[in-house]
Amino acid sequence: MDVGVEDRLEVKVVCGEGLLEVEGGECNPFAVVRCGSEFEQTVVLNHTTSPQWDSARMVFSDITENGTDHLLVTVNHKNLSRQSDEVIGQAIVDLRTATLSPGVESDESYELERAPGMTTNAKGSVRIEVTYFISEGDDALPDSSDEDELLEREEGADPSVLLRGRRQRAPNCIVGTIVRGRGLYLDSSSSSGREVDAYASIRVGETGPKTKTKVARRTNAPTWDQPFRLPCSDGEALLVVKVKDSGSLSKHLLGTCQISVVEIAAESDKIKWFKLLGDGYAVDGVDRGALELQLSWVYDKKVARSLSAMLSSSKPQRARALGGGAKGAVDQDDDDSSGKQRRRGGKKKRADFLQSMLRKEEDDDEPVALKRTTKEQEDVDEQRENRRMMAERVEDERDRDREKAMVAGDYQIQVHVIEARDLAGEDLNGLSDPYVRCKVLGRSKKTRVVRKVSAAVFDETLYFDLKQMKPKEIEEAVLEVSCFDFDVFTAHDLVGLATFDVEAIHSRDDHELYHHWVGLVDPKRADKTGYQGFLKLSITVLGPGDVQKFHDADKEYLEAENEEEAEDALGGLGPPGGAPFGAAAEGKLVFLVLYVWEAEDLPKMESSSGFFGSGGDSAGKVDAYLKCDFNGTSCGTSVASVRGKGNLAPVYYEQLWLPVMEPTTNKKITVGLYDSNTFSKDAPVAHLFFDYDDVERNDEYGKGSAGTSTLGSLFAFGSALGTSSSQSAATRGNGPRPQWYNLYGAPLGVQGKRGKLQNRFGGDDASTYRGRVLLGMEVVLRPSSREKQVAKRAPFRDYKAIRAAGFGLGFRPATVKYHLRCLAVMGSEIPSLRSPGALSPAKMALVVSVGNHHLRFAYEANKRGVVVWNALDTLKSVELPVRIEEIPDVCVYLIRGPPRTQTVCYCRIPAARLLKEQFSGEPRWELLKADPAIAKRHGGVAFTANPGAVLLKLGFGLSEDAVDPQFAWDEDLLKKKAVDVAPYCLRVYVFQARHLPASDENGLLDPYVKVRFCGKKDKTKVHSMTTAPLFYETLQFNELLPKDPFYGPDVVVQVWDSDNLSANTPM
C-alpha cells in the first residue's frame, strides 16, 4: 500500500498596500504565485500602489508529495510603454501552519522583501489567503480501519481488542464554534456606550495553529457563529482566546482567557460562556464581557492523515524551516529510499511505522529562532509586552509590601486585661475560677485567679519587651489571649481564646486596640459551640520611635457608667459593650480550608542511615508534613516519608478544615512544613504566611469535607490560567485552582537556633530555596450542618482516582521553559576571609541559581576586596511555572574557597524584576547580605561588616525569547568592557550629619565617616561627643576604572563611633 496523499492548496491574493513606485511615478502591479514548479498570476491593475486584486482561487496540487514548504509571491510592475515586467518586491509564505491545519483558512499580510536583481529596496505589503485540503479518495493515506486490518492480519490480534482500540483512539483536533460575545467595550465600561468592531481569535498555545472570525462592525454583542478546526494532540495544552477591537490605525485588546484541553474534554460539545480577563489573564475585578463557545476534543482522520504525510515525506520542510537550507534535497532522497526499505520490510514494520507517525513529536531541548511574518512578529511583540506589564505589576506589589514592612528594633506589647463576662461554667457548680494567659513569640504571662465567678474584673496590664526584632519576625507575630479555669489537682480547663494580629494593631491609629470586647471560642472541643464568654481588654504595640497615647481615666470612667446605665435600661440582656443582638453575639461559624496537593524539591533532612545530613549527592530522606495555624487552632497533614538522591516530592491530597468564628480579630494564617522526628522535636523546614482577607470565599450551601463528587469535576483544574474564581464548588471538586508557593529558609543542613529565624519566619532574611508546595485555600461560608467546631483532616474527594491518574489530567499549574543568562563581572568590597595558617585570603566563587538549577563561576583570588570573574554562562530550558508569582527568586551566593568551602553572603532577586527587563537590562551592582545563620565564628561574615556587592548582567525569560537575535548578547564585547579601563579621580565631599543614634552612655557618640572604594579606604577626623557633627572634608581616590559607567564599582560610605577602650562601632 503506497503512502501517497491527494491534497491541494488554494491561494487567493487579496490586495497590496504601499507598493514601490518605479521610475516616472507609475505602478501597474500584478502578483505571481509560485508553488514548486507551478505558478499562477493575478490581473494587472493600472496606476495604483494599493491594488485590490481579489483574485480567483489559485489551486496547487500534490503539496506533500512534492515536498513544498513555501510559496514565493512576486509582485511585478507592468511597463506598458516597454511591454516588459519589472520586479518590485517578493514575499515568502511559510506553509507549515497551513499544512498542519487542513481546512483552516489563513489570512495574513506579508512585508515585501528585496528580490534578486532589484537595485532598490522593496516596500509595501501583500495580503494572501491560504487554505490546505486533503482529499477523501481511495488513494489517500490509510485510515484507522486500514491500520487495524493490517495489525489484525499480521499479528492475529483479538478483534475485541481492536474494536476497543478504535473507540479509544486519542483525540487530535479541537472542533468548535465561536458563537457570540456580550458586554464588549473598549474602556471596560458600558457607561460610554461606544460600540466596537470586534473579532475573536483562538490559538493552541502561544505559537500553535490559529483561527479567527470576521470583524463584526459597530456592536457590543457580536454574533459570529463561525466553526473552526485546530489540530491538537497535547492533552495538557491551553487554548488561548483573544477578543480585539479592529481600529482603523491599531488593534486594541478587549479581553482574553485560556481554556485547557482537559476542560474541553470534560465538557465536550457543550455551549458555554467564558469570562474575559485583562492583559496577562489578570483577574482585576473589571467586567470585560464574555464569549460563548462550543468546543470538543475529537479524533479527526484528516488531521491524522496530514500529520502522517508530513512525518513520512515532509522532513525536508522542517529541516529548511529550522535553517537546513539546501540540505533538504538530500534529505528528500533519504526519505524516499528509507520508505522503500520500510515497504520491503513487511507489513509489521509498516504497521509500526503508521503508529509512530501519529505519536506526538518531542520538543527539542534547545529552541531555534524562526523567521516570522510581520503578523507573527506583531503577536510575539504583543505577548512580550503583556508579560512585561505583568512582571511590572508583580514587582510593584512586592515593593508596596516592602514599604509597609515594620522596621527592625525593640518592641513592647502591652495587654491591659480589664474584665470578663458571661464565662461558661467549667466546674460542677456552673461557675469557673478564671485567669487570663497571654502568649506571643514563645513568651507567656498571666493574670491572677478569680474564684467561683462567671464574670470577673482583672484590671491588670501584662508587658512583653521584645528586643532586637527583625521585621518579618514582628510582622508575623500573633498574640494569643486565653481564659482558663484554674483547677488544683487536674489540668486547667480552657474556657475560650482569641487571637490578635500584632502588625494590624501596630498599624492602627495610636498603635492600639482600646477597650475592645472580644468573644472567646474553644476550637478544641466539639461539644462547645459558639462564644464561651466575652473579654474586655486593650492592646498597645509600640516600636522604635512610637509614642503611647495618653487616656483620661476619669472621663472614660464616666462614659463607662453611662454605658452601663443604658445596658441596665435594656434589662441587662444585651451583650457586653453595647454590641447588637443576634449574630454579633452569637458569631458566625465558617471554615478555613487548606487543600494540600504535594511538595517538590524538599531538602534532605536526614541521610539514609538516619543521621542528619546537609544534602549533596548522597541519598537522604524527609518525613514531611504541613501544619496550618490560625486563630489558636492548628491542623496538620499526615506524614509523608520520601527517600532518594534527587527530587524529594511527597504527595498528600488532603484538606485541612479549621473553624473560624467571624468576625475575627486575627488575619495571619501560618502554614509550616516540618520534618517529623521520633526522638526529638520536629524540625521546621520553612513557613508561609497568608492574609485571611485575601483568601477566596465560597458561599455554596452545604459544602463539607465528606461530600461526594465525581472525577469529572476535577477537570476544572486543567484551566491553569484564566479560571474564574466564581465557578461553583460543584465543578471545582477540591477547592480553587492550586498554586505553587516557594519555600525559603536557612542554608541546607542548618537547623536549631542557628536557622530558627530563617526557617520559622522566612522573608528576605531567608537565604536558601527549600522547595515548594502546591496549595489551594478557601473560606467555606456555609458549611454542612454536620460540621463540628473543631479542626480536622480529610482526604480529597476521589483521592484514590487522583492518585491513580497522577497529574496527567492537568491539575498542575502550567509551565514553560526559561533561560537564565548571567555575566558575572566582578565583586567589590568582598570580605577577606582566611583559613587558619593561610597567608592569603580565601578565593571566592559565585553561584547563581533559580530553584534547584545552578550556574557556577570558578574560584578567583580576592585582591584587596576585589574579585574578578568576567565570565558568561547560561542555564537553558528550565521548566518553571507560567505565572510570575509562582517562579522562585534568582539567588546569588558568594562561596569561600577551600579548604573550608561555605556560603558567606547572598542576595535574592525577584524573578519579576528580571522578566520585566527581558534580557535587555544593563549590568547592575547587587548588594550582598550576610547570612544570619552563618556567623563569623562559623566561617561567615560578621553582621556588622560590609558584605560587599557583585556586578552582574542578568537575563531571565522565556527560552523562545532567549534565542531571538533581538536579545542576543555579544560575549566578547561585554567582557571587553570590564577590562577597558582609564584613570579616574573620585572625590567624596563629606559635609555634616544630623540625628545620629546615641552609642555611648552619655547619650552621644564620637562619629567619623569611612569611605571604601576599589579595595581602598579613607576616613575623616573623629568629632567627639556629638550627634550632629560638622566634617567639611574631602576624600580623594585615584583608580583605574572601566570606561563604561555601568561597570564602575560602588562607593561605600559608613558612619562609625570611635571608642578608646573597645572596638569601634558601625552606626
* Residue of 531 and 147 predicted with greater confidence: 531
Residue 522's pLDDT is what? 85
CA–CA distance from 906 to each of 723, 760, 861, 933, 1056 (Å)? 37, 19, 19, 12, 24
The DSSP output letter for 116 is T
The DSSP output letter for 62 is -
Helix intervals (H) in 359-481: 374-403, 471-475
* 694 band by pLDDT with thresholds 50, 70 and 90: confident
Residue 370's pLDDT is what? 59
* 551 band by pLDDT with thresholds 50, 70 and 90: confident
Buried (b) or exposed (e) across 376-411, using 16+ Cβ within 10 A? beebbeebbebbbebbebbbeeeeeeeeeebebeeb
Residue 893's pLDDT is what? 92
With CA atoms as reference, report the closest residue to 1053 among 989, 998, 966, 1002. 989
What are 660's three cell numbers?
473560624
Please provide the size of the chain in residues: 1067
Residue 167's pLDDT is what? 43
| Cis peptide bond N-terminal to 663, omega within 30 | yes
Phi then psi for 1036, rounded to 5 degrees? -125, 140
**In sequence order, what E strands does 383-508 have?**
409-421, 434-440, 443-446, 456-469, 478-485, 493-501
The C-alpha atoms of residue 738 and residue 743 are separated, in whole angstroms, by: 16
Which range among 338-352, 802-816, 926-940 shows the weakest confidence by mean pLDDT? 338-352
pLDDT of 140 over the 60 cut: no
Burial of 979 (0-12, 13-18, 19+ CB in 10 A): exposed
* 64 band by pLDDT with thresholds 50, 70 and 90: confident
With beta carbons less than 8 A apart as the criterion, state whether 152 and 32 touch.
no
Dihedral sign computed on CA atoms, order 782, 788, 791, 792: negative
Helix intervals (H) in 205-289: 261-266
With beta carbons less than 8 A apart as the criterion, state whether 723 and 734 touch.
no
* Residue of 958 and 722 predicted with greater confidence: 958
* 647 band by pLDDT with thresholds 50, 70 and 90: confident
pLDDT of 802 over the 50 cut: yes
With beta carbons less than 8 A apart as the criterion, state whether 262 and 234 touch.
no
pLDDT per residue as tens digits for the range 870-912: 899 999 889 999 888 999 999 999 988 877 788 888 999 999 9
The C-alpha atoms of residue 1031 and residue 405 are separated, in whole angstroms, by: 34
pLDDT of 305 over the 50 cut: yes
The C-alpha atoms of residue 500 and residue 481 are separated, in whole angstroms, by: 8
pLDDT per residue as tens digits for the range 419-430: 999 888 888 888
Residue 644's pLDDT is what? 81
Residue 40's pLDDT is what? 87
Burial of 1024 (0-12, 13-18, 19+ CB in 10 A): exposed
829 Cβ partners below 8 Å, 6+ apart? Answer: 865, 946, 947, 948, 949, 1012, 1015, 1049, 1050, 1052
Q: How many helices (H) and strands (E) does the chain have?
A: 19, 52
454: helix, strand or coil: coil
With beta carbons less than 8 A apart as the criterion, state whether 15 and 63 touch.
no
pLDDT of 137 over the 80 cut: no
Place of cell 498570476: 41
Burial of 337 (0-12, 13-18, 19+ CB in 10 A): exposed
The C-alpha atoms of residue 338 and residue 573 are separated, in whole angstroms, by: 94
773: helix, strand or coil: strand
Residue 937's pLDDT is what? 64
The C-alpha atoms of residue 932 and residue 750 are separated, in whole angstroms, by: 11
pLDDT of 9 over the 50 cut: yes
With CA atoms as reference, report the closest residue to 851 among 1067, 583, 603, 605. 603
Average per-residue pLDDT for the chain: 78
* 484 band by pLDDT with thresholds 50, 70 and 90: very high
Calculated CA dihedral for residues 450, 455, 459, 462, nearest 10 degrees: 70
816: helix, strand or coil: strand
pLDDT per residue as tens digits for the range 1013-1067: 887 888 899 898 888 899 999 999 888 888 888 787 888 888 888 887 777 777 6
With beta carbons less than 8 A apart as the criterion, state whether 502 and 466 touch.
no
Residue 991's pLDDT is what? 93
Mean pLDDT of 40-56: 86
pLDDT per residue as tens digits for the range 825-842: 988 888 888 776 677 888
Residue 319's pLDDT is what? 39
Which range among 385-399, 566-580, 805-819 shows the weakest confidence by mean pLDDT? 566-580
What are 260's three cell numbers?
485547557
Mean pLDDT of 799-819: 67
Residue 890's pLDDT is what? 93
pLDDT of 31 over the 50 cut: yes
* 638 band by pLDDT with thresholds 50, 70 and 90: very high
The C-alpha atoms of residue 75 and residue 91 are separated, in whole angstroms, by: 8
Helix intervals (H) in 476-582: 502-506, 553-569
With beta carbons less than 8 A apart as the criterion, state whether 265 and 171 touch.
yes
Helix/strand/coil (H, E, C) string of 910-948?
CHHHHHHHCCCCCCEEEECEECCCCCHHHCCCCCCCCCC
pLDDT per residue as tens digits for the range 354-380: 344 344 433 444 565 556 777 778 888
Mean pLDDT of 668-683: 88
Tally Cβ neighbours within 10 Å of residue 548: 12
**In sequence order, what E strands does 118-206 have?**
125-134, 173-182, 196-204
pLDDT of 989 over the 70 cut: yes
The C-alpha atoms of residue 870 and residue 860 are separated, in whole angstroms, by: 10
Place of cell 528528500: 332
Residue 774's pLDDT is what? 92
| Cis peptide bond N-terminal to 983, omega within 30 | no
pLDDT of 938 over the 70 cut: no
Tally Cβ neighbours within 10 Å of residue 791: 21
The C-alpha atoms of residue 722 and residue 734 are separated, in whole angstroms, by: 18
Phi then psi for 278, rounded to 5 degrees? -85, -170
Place of cell 472570525: 213
Query: Which neighbouring-strand residues pair with 191?
Result: none
With beta carbons less than 8 A apart as the criterion, state whether 98 and 323 touch.
no
The C-alpha atoms of residue 445 and residue 481 are separated, in whole angstroms, by: 10
* Residue of 828 and 353 predicted with greater confidence: 828
Residue 24's pLDDT is what? 66
Could you tell me whether strands 768-780 and 696-698 are parallel, antiparallel, or unpaired per DSSP bridges? parallel
